[in-house]
Amino acid sequence: MMKSPTKALGNVTRQANKKLRRERIFTIAKRLIAEKGLEDFTISELAEEAGVTTPTIHNLFGKKSDIIKELVSNLIEEMQSIFLHNPPIDPIENAKFFIDSMVAAYEQDTNFYRAALMSAEQVRLFDPRIPDGLFQRAEQLAAPRKEWYESGLFLGNIESSTIMKRVHSSNRLGRLDWVRGYIDLNQFRHQVLEGILMVYASDASPELHARLSEEINGLNSL
């Protein structure tokens, strides 16, 4: 039996309202996490701030760790959309684009991203042993481009998966140092970019290796 147009329209309206309510609560959750961090952030406070019941929050999002997972997942999706949108072909410029895009995202709401990423570490969302988890998704952002091998810029003496893992490790270590307050975003950029360029140098053609060396030495002179 087909639904009447009125019922169908009602379902669409309810779904649209649910989506808007979810987005509003999600925005409040981001603010509370930025202000308090994961340990002091509670579902009951989120419900109170949003003017809904605690069961409503659980119904819309799940547990507190599920909210953190969605927040970090959204960040990774944002980075993926940026990196897939016409990034520079040149490896050095590509590395700068990679780290500058990440820094720009963090600068939009430093307190939130620091708290969210710290929270993600605390609840082990970046555990590499989780199949198809956030660790693997973030790692894929560091994969070298096939054009670099096809053009001879990368020699292929080192597996591309190894290059990807080491680039991701450089980014992750820098991110952890920033999240813990050991370095600021400028130092984060310098540390991660230097690490990426040194990884690239391990499989670079002589011409690219010379350019990478010059770039790394230039960073160290700053």
Q: Give 15 or 121, the one with higher predicted confidence.
A: 121
Identify the three-state secondary structure at position 125. Answer: coil
Planar angle of CA 21, 25, 31, nearest 5 degrees:
150
Identify the three-state secondary structure at position 181. Answer: coil
pLDDT digits (tens, 9 = 90+) for 166-198: 999 999 999 999 999 999 999 999 999 999 999
For the chain, what is the domain count? 2
Are residue 113 and residue 26 in the same domain, yes or no? no
Orientation angle between helical segments 185-201 and 206-220, nearest 10 degrees: 160
pLDDT digits (tens, 9 = 90+) for 79-118: 777 777 778 999 999 999 999 988 998 998 888 888 888 8
Are residue 92 and residue 190 in the same domain, yes or no? yes
Domain end marker among 43, 62, 81? 62
Q: What was the pLDDT predicted at 189?
A: 96
Residue closest to 141 by CA, chosen among 164, 118, 174, 170: 164
Are residue 31 and residue 122 in the same domain, yes or no? no
Are residue 14 and residue 100 in the same domain, yes or no? no
Range of the domain at 118: 65-220
Are residue 44 and residue 135 in the same domain, yes or no? no
Dihedrals φ, ψ of 73, to 5°?
A: -60, -40
Residues in the chain: 222
pLDDT digits (tens, 9 = 90+) for 133-176: 778 878 888 899 999 999 999 999 999 999 999 999 999 999 99
Residue 200 host element (H or E): helix 185-201
Mean pLDDT, to the nearest integer, of 22-26? 87
Are residue 91 and residue 177 in the same domain, yes or no? yes
Are residue 58 and residue 72 in the same domain, yes or no? no
Q: What is the CATH number of the domain that holds 53?
A: 1.10.10
pLDDT at 206 over 80: yes
Q: What was the pLDDT predicted at 154?
A: 98
Query: Minimum mean pLDDT among 5-19, 47-61, 96-110, 150-164: which range?
Result: 5-19
Domain end marker among 62, 84, 113? 62
The DSSP secondary-structure symbol of 2 reads P
Question: How far, rounded to the nearest angstrom, does the alpha carbon of residue 49 sit from its chain's CA centroid?
Answer: 27
Residue with tokens 């709401």: 109
Planar angle of CA 56, 133, 82, nearest 5 degrees:
90
Are residue 51 and residue 118 in the same domain, yes or no? no
What percentage of the chain exceeds 70 in pLDDT?
Answer: 93
Are residue 45 and residue 140 in the same domain, yes or no? no
The tokens of 107 are what?
Answer: 């600068």
Residue pair 88/94 in contact by the 8 Å Cβ criterion: yes
Mean pLDDT, to the nearest integer, of 110-133? 81
Are residue 97 and residue 196 in the same domain, yes or no? yes
